[in-house]
DNA sequence: TAACCCATGTAACCTGTTACATGATTAA
DNA sequence: TTAATCATGTAACAGGTTACATGGGTTA
């Protein structure tokens, strides 16, 4: 359900095609949210059926026509209703949590390797997000409206990666303590 | 895909029926992972078809027979293979992140209310997990095998709720600073 | 000449939720 | 007598992934 709202939100500022949206979801919101173009096209036609967005065709020569969408009044109202309704926490479906529970069947070293890989990944992402933060929002105290929202979600992203860095290190340390390396690692 | 592995993991220690598993997913692993009984029954029959689990019927009088499952050798091997293969981070699909991006269309006060609700929820859950931690794992340094894995996942849960507490407060503060309450709240 | 970008989609499939269905037993 | 527990499932739908399809234009 939330993909629909993410699309509506993106369409508020500007008319966008499905193709544009798919790219957009790789950029701003897309730091957290991934949606494939297939899914976006599907969702857009559903939204159009419900009259929450309006389509407009832009003819092009030498390549397929673009179909751009904008939010309707009904779409805006729908978005506001949604924002007022209680949001429920997304379920956490992390493979690494399941692997933790599988410890004992699976060697501690295997899990530790996974944790260290995740650590490296989280570090990279955190740095990337922090660079973005410094570049786009040098003065957070002055932010308001749309920009403030983007800043807050970036902060959430940074905190999220921080969580992974810290937790994976805690896991790694405890797993190593339990199963010390024997050779080749001083 | 990961539900299958969660089920296999749970079945390693003991034979369980679909009904048992559904309850189990409300307890230990279930602090993070939710699965409905419908989904579990479906998954179990798929696992049986692939010979990763074996079924055994326990006849009962006056209520439906139980069908209990145990992991096969192939199931164990499958689990180990999975644990060795690179785990990919689960996508984050949080409504509240989308709402952040919708700020400007949606009043700051609405978002702030959502954040404070989430804060209260996260506090409750964190306390619950911490009580569990203190009760089940008074001496973390001594843990190994299965118990260590459960401890680590609990720690992950605590950190996760901590993230929500901190982030929601950061958001709440910035949203309030931007849109100060006018009346009735000293 | 190969690979990628633009721009749209279809089809099959897997995962997960909601609602419905049965029918006896036990506790409030 | 109402509701909950035990124990199984089916069916319809929503959400999401992967693979396939088209076809000109641009860049290496």
**Quick one: pLDDT at residue A182?**
56
Residues forming beta bridges with residue B68, ordered by sequence position? B17, B56
pLDDT, average across residues A25-32: 79
**Quick one: pLDDT at residue B147?**
93
pLDDT band per the 50, 70, 90 thresholds, residue B186: very low
Looking at beta carbons, which residues of chain A come within 8 Å of B170?
A: 152, 155
Smallest Cβ–Cβ distance between B79 and the set A91, A105, A117 belongs to A105
What are the tens digits of pLDDT across the range A135-173? 999 999 899 888 999 999 999 999 999 999 999 999 999
pLDDT, average across residues A42-67: 95
pLDDT above 60 for A185: no
Longest dimension (CA), chain B: 68
Give, in order, the Cα–Cα distances in Å from B27 to each of B20, B57, B132. 11, 24, 11
Using CA coordinates, name the residue in chain A closest to B97: A153
Any strand C atom closer than 7 Å to B184 CB: no
**Which among B66, B71, B25 has a CA at the least distance from the CA of B50?**
B71
The tokens describing B83, both together, are 């644990």
Q: What is the DSSP letter of A180?
A: -
pLDDT, average across residues B110-120: 97
Cβ–Cβ gap B98/A9 under 8 Å: yes
Which pTM value belongs to this model? 0.93
Q: Strands A16-17, A66-71: parallel, antiparallel or unpaired by DSSP?
A: antiparallel
pLDDT band per the 50, 70, 90 thresholds, residue A1: confident
pLDDT more than 70, % of chain A = 95
pLDDT band per the 50, 70, 90 thresholds, residue B34: confident
**Quick one: pLDDT at residue A180?**
62
Q: How far is A61 from chain B (nearest CA, A)?
A: 35
Closest nucleotide to A33's CA, by C1' atom? Answer: D16
Handedness of CA B70, B72, B78, B84 (dihedral sign): positive
pLDDT above 60 for B98: yes
Using CA coordinates, name the residue in chain B closest to A94: B90
What are the tens digits of pLDDT across the range B138-172? 999 899 888 999 999 999 999 999 999 999 999 99
Worst-scoring range by mean pLDDT, A34-43, A104-113, B57-66?
B57-66
Question: Rounded mean pLDDT of chain A?
Answer: 92
pLDDT above 80 for A76: yes
CB A154 within 8 A of CB A132: yes
The H or E element that residue B17 is part of is strand B16-17
pLDDT, average across residues B103-126: 96
pLDDT, average across residues B96-115: 95
**Quick one: pLDDT at residue B73?**
97
What are the tens digits of pLDDT across the range B80-94? 999 999 999 999 999
Cβ–Cβ gap B92/A145 under 8 Å: no
Cβ–Cβ gap B104/A149 under 8 Å: yes
Closest nucleotide to A40's CA, by C1' atom? Answer: D16
**Quick one: pLDDT at residue A186?**
47
Nucleotides of D under 7 A from a protein CB: 6-12, 14-20, 23-25
pLDDT, average across residues A63-74: 96
């Amino acid at each position: 359900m939330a993909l629909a709202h993410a699309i509506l939100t993106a369409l508020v500022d500007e008319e966008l095609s499905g193709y544009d949206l798919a790219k957009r979801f790789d950029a701003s919101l897309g730091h957290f949210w991934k949606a494939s173009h297939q899914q976006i096209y599907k969702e857009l036609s559903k939204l159009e059926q419900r009259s929450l967005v309006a389509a407009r065709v832009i003819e092009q020569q030498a390549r397929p026509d673009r179909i751009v969408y904008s939010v309707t009044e009904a779409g805006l109202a729908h978005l506001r209703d949604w924002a007022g309704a209680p949001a429920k926490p997304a379920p956490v479906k992390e493979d690494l949590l399941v692997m933790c529970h599988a410890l004992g069947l699976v060697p501690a070293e295997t899990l530790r390797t996974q944790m260290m890989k995740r650590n490296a990944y989280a570090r990279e992402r955190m740095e990337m997000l922090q660079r973005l933060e410094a570049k786009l929002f040098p003065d957070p105290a002055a932010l308001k409206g749309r920009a403030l929202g983007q800043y807050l979600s970036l902060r959430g992203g940074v905190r999220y990666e921080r969580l992974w860095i810290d937790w994976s290190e805690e896991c790694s340390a405890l797993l190593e303590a339990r199963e010390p390396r024997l050779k080749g690692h001083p």
